[in-house]
Amino acid sequence: MRKATIIAGLVALATPAFAGTNHIFVSNEKGNGLTVLDAADYTTVRQIKTGARPRGMVFSPDHKLLYVACGGVNRIDIVDVAAMKVVGRIGHIDDPETFDLDKKGERLFISNEDAGELSIYDLATKKLLKSIKVGLEPEGVLLNADDSKVYVASEGSNLVSVIDTATDKRTDIGTDTRPRRFAMTPDGKELWVSTELAGRVDVIDVATNKVVSHVDFLPPGMRKEDVSPVALVIDKAGTTAFVTLGRANHVGVVDVKSHKVTDYILVGSRPWGIAFDKDQKRLFVANGASDDVSIIDAASHKVRKSVPVGHYPYGVAIDE
């Protein structure tokens, strides 16, 4: 048997198999709940009540559970994806906003904005394992492919902290003003971080932990001070990135190899969260100030539909 075949078989065994519900979950920051949409016709299936100020969301590896950061009540709510209801909570977490989950689904890595810390929670016991000091006002959190490193963006300190998950050793990388969210290129060589008040994305070389390039945004007719990049995604092929531009009411389209902007897509007001569907044919953008989600054809860069959701949508998670 060829080596490639063996590796492919091992990968298949390691990848959780699940049948998705074909539902789109949208966290409504000021609506204190989630709007659930049908991914086929975009009708509202259900409204799920959560704790106050739901923002970041992450699925468990098997997609049976959806973890939701509820910063207004200092907890993570646990949603049963099939039943579409809150079935558990992890409490006493300082102002959670965004977080990541390790590949085994055992530990949550949560940014604690007020405390300036990264907290790590055990999901089996729902207990705090440890807290690690980072910069001021941490927000974005991202684990690398093998969970050996976790990256934390600290808005108030203009830095990204790189933490070795085995030793807790921390290395800091200076960035432009107000770093917010991350995306990693599929080859694991570049870490992209949005820097909101600089109106750009900083590109970090993972091998050297240095900022090596920038992507600047300025949609036609907009002022530089209105451009506030937040969320970003990079396609599986590693060719194209899409970046929400906040007050500029656009999504920027970037060629990953050249770090050049190739297009702008006009969406709703104050776009924040963004997510691909499973086939990466559609993009879903949460527009905070217009209370809707823009659905974009990824190939043509055209908005196909705008769907009303709850009050001040923040993030999007898709179960397919």
pLDDT higher than 80, residue 29: yes
Nearest to 305 by CA among 46, 56, 45, 37: 37
Residues 6+ apart with CB under 8 A from 116: 133, 134, 135, 136, 137, 138, 154, 156
Nearest to 81 by CA among 107, 45, 119: 45
- The pLDDT > 90 percentage for the chain reads 94
Q: Tell me which amino acid residue 179 is.
A: P
Position 224 scores a pLDDT of: 95
Q: What is the sign of the dihedral through the CA atoms of 46, 83, 19 and 55?
A: positive
User: Residues 90-118: what's their mean pLDDT?
Assistant: 96
Kindly list the distances between the CA atom of residue 274 and the CA atoms of 27, 33, 217, in Å, as whole numbers in the listed order: 12, 18, 17
Please measure the distance between the N-terminal and C-terminal CA atoms of the chain and give it in whole angstroms. 33
User: Residues 43-64: what's their mean pLDDT?
Assistant: 98
User: Residues 153-164: what's their mean pLDDT?
Assistant: 98
Mean pLDDT, the chain, integer: 94
Q: What number of residues does the chain have?
A: 320
User: Residues 31-53: what's their mean pLDDT?
Assistant: 98
Per DSSP, 40 falls in state: T
